[in-house]
Structure 1
């Protein structure tokens, strides 16, 4: 049947189907490594080693935020495969990298209660199109990794969008900040769920820092100033020199 005979489908209709199909193929079909393309499973030993050995460090754009690795090469491809192509099994190793960035950003703080990981929320339209919320999934994986180390960690989606925002891709730094300013707020009952805790903001990626800055503003306005922020990767020059893989 010619392609023109099929009725067009909305992104929200395609997203869940594509997500389910990708998950099924992920299980049934031997995959090439999403990081380097070798025919050794969805994450080869070399790329897994890269995730586990990169040294977390502060970001130049936001010194109070720490990233596990630079956003390039295999790390970039792994994040894109998880976010855009439904490679859900990558959430585990990417979440472990995020957990290391959380530890680096937060530092040892014994006796301060549960560790609350607050993901920067994706726009609702993006979640519908992808069929899943990648940042929340990574936050939950990071919380599990931290609990395996004996920490009382939990991922709580405290934040939500209050208005539509433009796609950040391609926007310069100043426009990214203007696009997001005032776009986030704490969910109803969020204060009750996080009373007495200092949240740690988490995201998959930091570029200009606009998303993390807006999330921190929203939490602070609600009386919940974040104690730190952590991401899997930092783009461009956002990692200070000397904090690359090693």
Structure 2
């Protein structure tokens, strides 16, 4: 009866009567050789890692969180990011104490989505900030367009000089990793790293849920 009133479907594949099926959970599972080092078109100045291609259940779940209000999918995406962070710590790429900085989101987009999904996923990945400090230290200035449909060069022009450090950011201790949902050209990640490094933060890597 409940399914008839509030029908459930998997946020990754659309299977009925479940919010997140076992098959999609396996799709997001982080293997022993993951996350993979990628080379985006715009160099970030630090290693950029991705947990998988922006396709299949991974893509569907990210879009569902960002565009369709599927807050219930924050936890499985956060669990995948958590496993990726642990792997980078085990490999010695990251060290403790660790500060996780979500890539900035346009203010208009965040309002439309009921908050910043990347920050929510980062908090889920760190047990609400207990395993690592999550600091939403960055903001997008006005004038940044939605990047959907923009060419690589246009994406870079769209964000250059338009990422800023929040006044409330304070001092970012230890190793800093920038996290994002998708790395496409790497323009946003690169600008985020540049701004953080200019402030004196020790940024050592970028980690994304997916790369396109």
Q: TM-score range by the shorter chain?
A: 0.7 to 0.9
Instruction: Check the 8 A contact 1:102/1:229 in 2, yes or no.
Output: no
Instruction: Check the 8 A contact 1:203/1:231 in 2, yes or no.
Output: yes
1:185-196 correspondence to structure 2 within 5 Å: 185-192=164-171, 194=172, 196=173
1:21-32 correspondence to structure 2 within 5 Å: 29-32=6-9
2:139 paired residue among 133, 148, 160: 160
Instruction: Check the 8 A contact 2:95/2:175 in 1, yes or no.
Output: no
**In the TM superposition, what is the alpha-carbon distance from 1:105 to its structure 2 partner?**
4.3
- Aligned pair count? 204
Distance, in Å, in 1 between the alignment partners of 2:64 and 2:79 is 16
| 1:231 correspondence with 2:208 | yes
Distance, in Å, in 2 between the alignment partners of 1:146 and 1:37 is 31
Q: Answer with 1 or 2: which has the greater Rg.
A: 1
- Give the TM-score normalised by the residue count of structure 2: 0.87
Q: Check 1:228–1:67 CA distance in 2 against 1; reply closer, same or farther (3 A cut).
A: same
- After TM superposition, the structure 1 stretch with the greater mean CA deviation from structure 2, 93-102 or 133-142, is 93-102
**Structure 1 unmatched runs, 5+:** 1-24, 236-246
- Give the TM-score normalised by the residue count of structure 1: 0.75
Distance, in Å, in 2 between the alignment partners of 1:119 and 1:75 is 19
1:199 paired residue among 164, 176, 182: 176
The corresponding residue for 1:213 is: 190
**In the TM superposition, what is the alpha-carbon distance from 1:111 to its structure 2 partner?**
11
Across the aligned residues of Structure 1 and Structure 2, the Cα RMSD in angstroms comes to 2.5
| 1:77 correspondence with 2:54 | no
